Amino acid sequence: MTIKAFYDEIIENGIKQNKKTPSKYLKNKEKAVLSRLKKYKQNYLSYLKDFDLPFDDNLSERDLRATKLKKKVSGCHRSYEGLKDHSNIRTIISTCIKQGKSYFEFLGHHYIFIGD
């Protein structure tokens, strides 16, 4: 049995079980989930063909995690300029990671740092 056939079988079993659900509220919620799983089957199974695809779509949430951690640790940014600088640096780091590039090399090639 292929994975797609197994997936279809699970959905069909879910639909049969949904008909037996006594609560109208839960029945509608279950039916909505099953319909979504059936409608977007290709999307849910696409990561099985291409292992470079993430299983979830939380890239933006992961990008925000570092900023949230900064806020949690220090309480806040001390100035608006500091917030902008932190956001710009996080954006550069995140983009470089997604593209498989070194952000140290990127910063070295695109910015000149002048020390005191």
CA-based nearest residue to 18, from 29, 30, 7: 30
Q: What does the domain layout of the chain look like in residue ranges?
A: 3-48, 59-110
DSSP 58-82: -HHHHHHHHHHHHHHHHSS-SSHHH
Per-residue pLDDT of 27-64, as tens digits, reads 999 999 999 999 999 988 887 888 877 767 677 777 77
* Mean local confidence (pLDDT), 65-92: 79
At residue 48, the pLDDT reads: 81
Mean pLDDT of the chain: 83
**Rounded CA gap, 87 and 95, in Å?**
12
More confident residue, 104 or 32: 32
At residue 45, the pLDDT reads: 86
